[in-house]
Amino acid sequence: MGDGFPLLWLCGPSGVGKTTVGWDIFGRIAATGTPAGYLDADQLGLCYPAPADDPETHRVKARNLGAMTRTLRAAGARCLILSGGVQHPDQVRRYAEAVPGCALTLCRLRAGPGELRTRFLGRGWRPELVAENERAAAALDRSDFGGLSVDTTGLSVPRTARRVLDRAGGWPGRPEPAAAAAGEAPPSPPPAPAATRSSVPVLWVCGPRGVGKSEVAWAVFAELFASGVTAAYVDLAQLGFRRPVPADDPSGHRLRARGLAAVWPAYRAAGARCLILSGAVGDPETVRACAEAVPEGTFTLVRLHAGPGVLRERILRRGRGRGPQLPGDELKGRPPAELLSRAEAAAREAETLERAGTGMARVATDGRTIGEIADEVRRLLPDLRAPEAGRQDVPDARGSG
């Protein structure tokens, strides 16, 4: 570890455990009282279709890593854990150049072929990519980049996390004083050039916990870029984590709004013609802050609604690990009694939103598939497809840890 802001980067093939191990380390560091930040690199580059020379959007991810690192430091974080895959030393250099002043510790996670295959298929996401992932893992094993390598075969997530911290020599060491970290405010993004300052449709999918915001918003996003429309996607709940939770931002809504302002310029520069958001609306101040983060945006707030029984069923399913595998999921693995209590709270939240008439459009979700709901939500956007646009493949961009 060198001098500077400590940044621990966990890399490796999809399914090896980058996200789950990174999240465990994040919790361990925060539990000591050291303010820590966590980022999933996959969440920083969701702008597709990607250019042919950067199919995994590393340029956008690197730029947004720099922007979000500044944002988290301004929020008081004194160290940062990053989960994200890379294949070549040149990619590592691109990311390192985006975070000047950081003391970067790169740790590659690996697993034996059989265990990696089991983990990858167990995610239930893009199983057709398992052979490609195995080839990528074999190439990483033959490479020599990365300062540390930890074999996770046969290890639980907590044991792997402890081994990573041991191998990293007691990371994060003695982070810089909080005053120095918090004093560095993120710079305001430059205004878009006049030629690109046209209106951008922003579709924000909101609703109570467990209603399916992320899945529906992702389905809309996937349909857009599959039809050739360059679109960006932001799950507000995934836009950077900071713990212990600051007393002046207990819900994290302020950090998410600042994060949106940090990442949007890179998406706009990458050619995004629309933005799909998912996440709770918070309070009116949060809504205004998010709108200000995308100054050229024309916002459409869509509220998903579900009855108490449907919310209970979906929350219990999330608790069993079904659905997107995302960092910080407060439902996954929780005991049934707690899940039922959270389902009751979600039903009360749904009723509150219903009475308030939140959103410009209300979409009922009971008895409908994600595809059916997404089709209705998608129709709230203008038709952005170019006549000559062709279909594009859906990237493996969620839950790649």
Considering only residues 221 and 1, tell me which one the structure prediction assigns the higher pLDDT. 221
Considering only residues 319 and 303, tell me which one the structure prediction assigns the higher pLDDT. 303
Ranges 38-52, 302-316, 317-331: which has the least confidence: 317-331
Neighbours of 111 (CB within 10 A): 24
Ranges 36-50, 127-141, 212-226: which has the least confidence: 127-141
Contacts of 259 (CB under 8 A, 6+ apart): 68, 71, 236, 239, 240
Ranges 100-114, 132-146, 182-196: which has the least confidence: 182-196
pLDDT at 325 over 90: no
Residue given tokens 């949060």 in the structure block: 286
Question: What's the CA gap between 241 and 70, in Å, rounded?
Answer: 13
Can you give the pTM of this predicted structure?
Answer: 0.89
pLDDT digits 0-9 by tens, 198-239? 789 999 999 999 999 999 999 999 999 999 999 999 999 998
Buried b or exposed e, range 33-61, using 16+ CB within 10 angstroms: ebbbbbbbbbbbbbbbbbeeeeebbbbbb
Give residue 396's pLDDT band: very low, low, confident or very high (50, 70, 90). low
Question: What's the CA gap between 36 and 72, in Å, rounded?
Answer: 9
Buried b or exposed e, range 346-372, using 16+ CB within 10 angstroms: bbebbeebeeeebbeeebebeebeeee
Question: What's the CA gap between 286 and 281, in Å, rounded?
Answer: 7
Contacts of 89 (CB under 8 A, 6+ apart): 145
pLDDT at 129 over 90: no
Q: Which of 133-137, 221-225, 280-284 has the highest mean pLDDT?
A: 221-225
Considering only residues 88 and 177, tell me which one the structure prediction assigns the higher pLDDT. 88
The predicted model gives 147-156 an average pLDDT of 92
CA-closest candidate to residue 378, choices 228, 267, 268, 217: 217
CA-closest candidate to residue 396, choices 129, 135, 212: 129
Please, are residues 235 and 214 in contact by the beta-carbon 8 Å criterion? yes
Element (H, E) at 255: helix 253-269
Please, are residues 48 and 185 in contact by the beta-carbon 8 Å criterion? no
Element (H, E) at 105: strand 102-110
Q: Say what percent of the chain tops pLDDT 90.
A: 67
What per-residue confidence (pLDDT) applies to 192?
47
What per-residue confidence (pLDDT) applies to 174?
75
What per-residue confidence (pLDDT) applies to 389?
47
The predicted model gives 310-337 an average pLDDT of 85
pLDDT at 155 over 80: yes
* Domains located in the chain, CATH noted: 5-168 (3.40.50.300), 200-380 (3.40.50.300)
What per-residue confidence (pLDDT) applies to 185?
43
Question: What's the CA gap between 43 and 147, in Å, rounded?
Answer: 24
pLDDT digits 0-9 by tens, 165-207? 999 998 998 766 654 444 444 444 444 444 445 789 999 999 9
Question: What's the CA gap between 45 and 298, in Å, rounded?
Answer: 22
Ranges 28-32, 137-141, 227-231, 396-400: which has the least confidence: 396-400
pLDDT at 147 over 80: no
Ranges 46-50, 195-199, 350-354, 366-370: which has the least confidence: 195-199
Longest dimension (CA), the chain: 59
What per-residue confidence (pLDDT) applies to 323?
66
Question: What's the CA gap between 72 and 75, in Å, rounded?
Answer: 5
Considering only residues 265 and 129, tell me which one the structure prediction assigns the higher pLDDT. 265
